[in-house]
Amino acid sequence: MPSQSVDPRTGVAFGPVIADDTAGEVRDACSRAYAASAAWGSTSKPARATMLRAAADALDAASDELIPLADQESGLGIPRLTGELARTTFQIRMFADAVEDGSFQEIIIDPFDDRPVPAGHPDLRRMLVPLGPVAVFGASNFPFAFSVAGGDTASALAAGCPVVVKAHPAHPQLSAAVHAIVAAALVSAGAPDGVFEMVHGFEAGQTLVSDPSIKAVAFTGSGPGGRALFDMAVSRPAPIPFYGELGSVNPVFVTPQAALRETLPKDYLDSLLLGGGQFCTNPSVLLIPAGTDLVERITAEVADRPAAVLLHAGVKDLFVRRSTQLAGIAGIDVIAGQPGAGDDPGFQHHAVLFHTSGAAVLADRAVFEIECFGPAGVIVEYADDAEAIALAEAIDGCLASTVHGAEGEPLAAELVCRLAANSGRVIWNGWPTGVAVTAAQHHGGPHPSTTNALHTSVGTTAMRRFLRPVAFQSMPTALLPADLRG
């Protein structure tokens, strides 16, 4: 159905209705992207970097227009969105720097060796080359950083792949504005027409994934939606990679020594409720030693927290269903808030906290399997070190996991080891929200947090998702790609 902006603070629609793209319009966008592939993929590294920086500059220049519009459609607030736009343009420039550096191509030159085999071999030169047009599905919870011009788009463009974005229906006007700005900036800087396309609509997304011109898909969103698109991508006559970030409970373990920290309740709630709890790295499950006063201190602290503004009606509906589902699990108590409370205007909802025991969770792992996206957290009290370790082993794949402990504490060391086996990032004495945009970052994890644990969607190695290796054997110098002639 057509998209229209809705103010999440009030639930009132505003602005123009944006029509869904037809199947024919989606195919045309994919064809334009495919036609741009050769030119964009062969653009020199300095030229491509310059074009990316031009896009970042154009977004910064339009901040006075874009940030208020993003706030209208998301309710995330001007300060948060100002920082998010800055992060977005920073990461575009980071990828531009990575393009100029050139190491992303992973060039290996192995000259002819005339010794007898197995030591001897022909001249072999290997590099990574762009896959081709990439479909990117924008996320609702980061209208800049994981949406139209977010990290998936920036990394694909940097890798030399044209991009066709599927706009998120929660911020249609912002999506249209960002697309227009970035597309114009790229073309003005010398990029080929079609290098950056966009489509709208649920069925448009399905058509996009199935179009033969699309060679890879990047997705950030719900588990069921991502899994359905993943199945489509790998069931095509020519299957393509699908890089889906689908959600995670991101457990935080607190050891007995760390439980004594005075600021722990406040710090936990600051992370849990950041952005209305609508982060893929939200610390959904807090695991603490039994016999402390942490539960009482956290319950007292959360009482003064205001209602969270949820992004759209779908998020609020799902939050109500998931929080009600958690409340119905045997052994779980609601200790703050009320699942499904309907007294908040628009798409707002106060925080809901649950409490249970480690034994109850080990008997029924549903707590580790239900991501309640929004202002909700489950506090689990473990009886002893052995139960804490058993809980760490029972957790499915996560984007991030955390240990609050002390160096030299045996339990802390064991938890770090166990959590590294099922997490993409392990944090020490910190919080999972706040994903640094840097080369060493890994934002991914084993299933069900993503569909491919080998790659990241944040950091310069995100480009690796959209590249494939080619080896040239005994090739005359004049026929080699320029970067392999050294």
Query: Which residues belong to the active site?
Result: 245, 280
Strand partners, 354: 334, 378
Residues with Cβ < 8 Å from 196, sequence gap 6 or more? 153, 157, 162, 163, 165, 179, 182, 183, 186
> Are 230 and 221 in contact, with CB atoms under 8 Å apart?
no
Q: Where are the alpha helices (DSSP H) in 102-162?
A: 151-159
The residue among 481, 470, 463 whose CA lies nearest residue 128 is 470
Rounded Cα gap, residues 328 and 356, in angstroms: 12
Q: From CA 193, how far away is CA 199, in angstroms rounded?
A: 16
Run of H or E residues at 265: helix 264-272
**Residue 135: count of CB within 10 angstroms of its CB:** 32
Cα 465 to Cα 470: distance, rounded to the nearest angstrom: 15
Question: Tokens 């190695």 label which residue?
Answer: 461
| Residue 5: strand pairing partners | 14
C-alpha 245/C-alpha 249 separation (Å) is: 13
What pairing do the DSSP bridges indicate for beta strands 467-473 and 124-130? antiparallel
Angle separating helix axes 63-74 and 172-188, nearest 10 degrees = 150
Q: Rounded CA gap, 465 and 69, in Å?
A: 31
8 Å CB contact between 137 and 205 = yes
Omega before residue 448 within 30° of 0, cis: yes
d(CA 101, CA 84): 26
